[in-house]
Structure 1
Amino acid sequence: MTVLSESELIQIRRHLHQIPELALHEFQTHDYLIEEIKKFRQDYLEIQVPQALPTAIMVLVHGSNPQRTIGYRADIDALPVEEKTGLQYSSQNLGIMHACGHDIHMTVALGLLSYFSEYQPIDNLMFFFQPAEESESGGKKAYELGIFSEKWRPDEFYGLHDNPALPAGSIGCRMGTLFAGTTEVNIDLIGKSGHAAFPQNANDTVVAMSSLIMQIQTIISRSIDPIKSGVITLGKVEAGTIRNVIAGHTRIEGTIRGLSQKMILEIDQRLRDICAGIARSYNMEVNLDLNQGGYWPVENNPKLTEIFISYMKKNPNVEFIETEPAMTGEDFGYLLAKFPGTMFWLGVNDDSQLHSATFTPDESSIFRGIEAIKDFLNYRMKA
């Protein structure tokens, strides 16, 4: 086996695109990845499948004179989206699609692995094919299960995300936060239902909910530094059963986005304070549930990111673009809170957005991305 060619990489990506699977159910994807990895030269490779996380794959490439272990992560799950691209290699799994481009992520990782299986790296390289990025906090699960221990523990960690707004094959990055952290917000207001004609005998949760929503809107405008950035969106409200019955229960569902973990925790506390105040003011029960899981802000390590950006800017074969932070979520942020590292963008040039049913990344980005990352890793191992 030699290093994977561009045409072979595209065929691998198209096969992966046809077999998308949801978080923690990536069994067919897992088996296909193992099958491809076993085709590579095995002299320097060591493969491990964690028993506690059976769809994950870890591959250690033993270095010739290792001073560190460099980790590289590729997420492998898909989204519950019905594909509408019309491609000949469209998803074969009804209602599931690689609408976030994880098929691109996996293919780039396989390309890198095929190269380093033929050309032994100086340092150890640890490839982590991660399940459950889109939901279920796969990165956090992996960390808490202790799979990054001993020789499998990276000294630094890297990972990419494809970006349809950037030219195909370009590399984007920034110092500081690349992705926001996210927290799911669920609020249940429990009062007392009753006849619309006798409001004095009921406790109206719709009225309390209206006041609560208006107060929540002041958190970003009046409790957060305007130089920084955060978002609270309440996207779903359910209340009542019929027009002439006062609602005794109302549910609000939403999301928080913040560019630092400190900011998210500040927003969380203000939400708690406001909910407690509404409960007292309206004499009802207000239950707030905040679920962040592993979706922490992707805060790039300053030293390693400076090295990464400097190299990409100087490489004449790389189109580097300094990007703005994005309010989308990514569970690699949790791993970057535990290990120093950097996340970056790979441009895939598409008119459709991530998570859309028509998302069709430019496949020419795969080989160009591999070349840029491979060259950086070789450079980093000599530093």
Structure 2
Amino acid sequence: MSQLTNDELIQIRRHLHQIPELAMHEVQTRDYLIEVISQMNLEYAEIRDQIATLPTAILVRVNGSDPLRTIGYRTDIDALPVDEQTGLAYASQHPHVMHACGHDVHMTVALGVLNHFLEHRPKDNLVFFFQPAEESQNGGKVAFEQGLFEGKWRPDEFYGLHDNPDLPAGSIGCRMGTLFAGTTEVNVDFRGKSGHAAFPQDANDMVVAASQFINQVQTIISRSINPIESGVITFGLMQAGTIRNVISGSARLEGTIRGLTQVMIERIIERLKQVAAGIASSYDCDVDIQFNQGGYLPVENNPELTKRLIDFFTQDDGTQFIETEPAMTGEDFGYLLAKFPGTMFWLGVNDDSQLHSATFKPDEAAISKGISSINSFLEYRMTN
């Protein structure tokens, strides 16, 4: 295979769009990616797939001509449980599953960059990581913990992108500091004593206890963190009771924490624990609070590498660069950036619909532009 044309890239993206698969089940996607990669010039490349501990992951190493470093590039490959409503001729063929976050675009761009450096041997080594399970199940964290990045597969620095419908097609967006917030699930169980609605003195009402917990939690953001920093606590689910005239002896809350730094998230967690302990004491009940962050740490860009990337794209005539604000959505590339220095950036895809929506239709003009910009940056990085 020679250099992929724009038409070939679009056909690849459309095929990937038709075969979306959920986290850790990306078998058809992996097989298609291997099919495309196997047609490329692999003279200087090594491929790892069918990895026992992460069977849908793919690693491709391009051996550089005179390497000073190994540069990693990551793309996510999973999709979302969304019923597509785009009306596209190449819409998802898998019921109730859609590439509503644009990972089909991410993969196509990665294939285009890989193809370029297989046709034009890079100076430095490159390791491309086609990662399963970004949307759930912590694919990046699992890969790291299972030792996928050891030895010659270990990058000295890591890069990755996410598409952005609010930016012009093909533009590059980035910022110093945090690009994506970290996320942590929080579950709270309250246990008291049920009883008849007419005899509250003989019961211990957990609807009241849970309600007071929620009220007190609202002060964490407003009174316990620096107002020029950002954090979010949302409880989206509350379960309690069985019927109107029975006092509930139990309640459950499920929510999410968002923070732009890991320090912020840990501060919020500590305050939630304190509020829970206070409610338990005040209402003479048991309050069990559990947290699960998994691999969804904040995407905190490395200062030195990010400044170099921004400086390059700002001066590159072929790139429209836009400085962006941080997003409160999560991305598990943050876990890898906690282990390796690196940078995540945006690729504009210009769409009225937002990420994760059933009508999300990224502008395919972004693909070839994104590949060109990334190729130029990586070639620059190899000499700077």
Same fold (TM over 0.5): yes
In 2: Cα distance, 1:51 partner to 1:307 partner: 37
How far does residue 289 in structure 1 lie from its aligned partner after superposition? 1.1
Superposed, 1:1-383 pairs within 5 Å as: 1-49=1-49, 50-383=51-384
How far does residue 97 in structure 1 lie from its aligned partner after superposition? 0.4
Aligned-partner residue type, residue 42 of structure 1: L
Partner SS, residue 382 of structure 2: helix
In 2: Cα distance, 1:272 partner to 1:140 partner: 25
In 1: Cα distance, 2:290 partner to 2:168 partner: 40
In 1: Cα distance, 2:4 partner to 2:53 partner: 31
Identity %: 69
Partner SS, residue 208 of structure 2: helix
Could you tell me the TM-score, scaled by structure 2's length?
0.99
In 2: Cα distance, 1:29 partner to 1:91 partner: 13
How far does residue 77 in structure 1 lie from its aligned partner after superposition? 0.2
How far does residue 191 in structure 1 lie from its aligned partner after superposition? 1.0
In 2: Cα distance, 1:57 partner to 1:278 partner: 48
How far does residue 210 in structure 1 lie from its aligned partner after superposition? 1.1
Stretches of structure 1 that go unaligned for 5 or more consecutive residues are none
* 1:292-325 deviation per Cα after TM superposition (whole angstroms, max 9, x unaligned): 0000000000000000000000001100000000
In 2: Cα distance, 1:249 partner to 1:132 partner: 34
* 1:46-90 deviation per Cα after TM superposition (whole angstroms, max 9, x unaligned): 000222101000000000001100000000000000000010100
Could you tell me the TM-score, scaled by structure 1's length?
0.99
Partner SS, residue 337 of structure 2: helix
How far does residue 233 in structure 1 lie from its aligned partner after superposition? 0.8
Aligned residues: 383
* 1:85-140 deviation per Cα after TM superposition (whole angstroms, max 9, x unaligned): 01010001100000000000000000011111111000000000000000001000
The two structures, once aligned, show a CA RMSD in angstroms of 0.5
Aligned-partner residue type, residue 288 of structure 1: I
Aligned-partner residue type, residue 304 of structure 2: K
In 2: Cα distance, 1:196 partner to 1:276 partner: 26
In 2: Cα distance, 1:135 partner to 1:74 partner: 15
In 2: Cα distance, 1:357 partner to 1:192 partner: 44
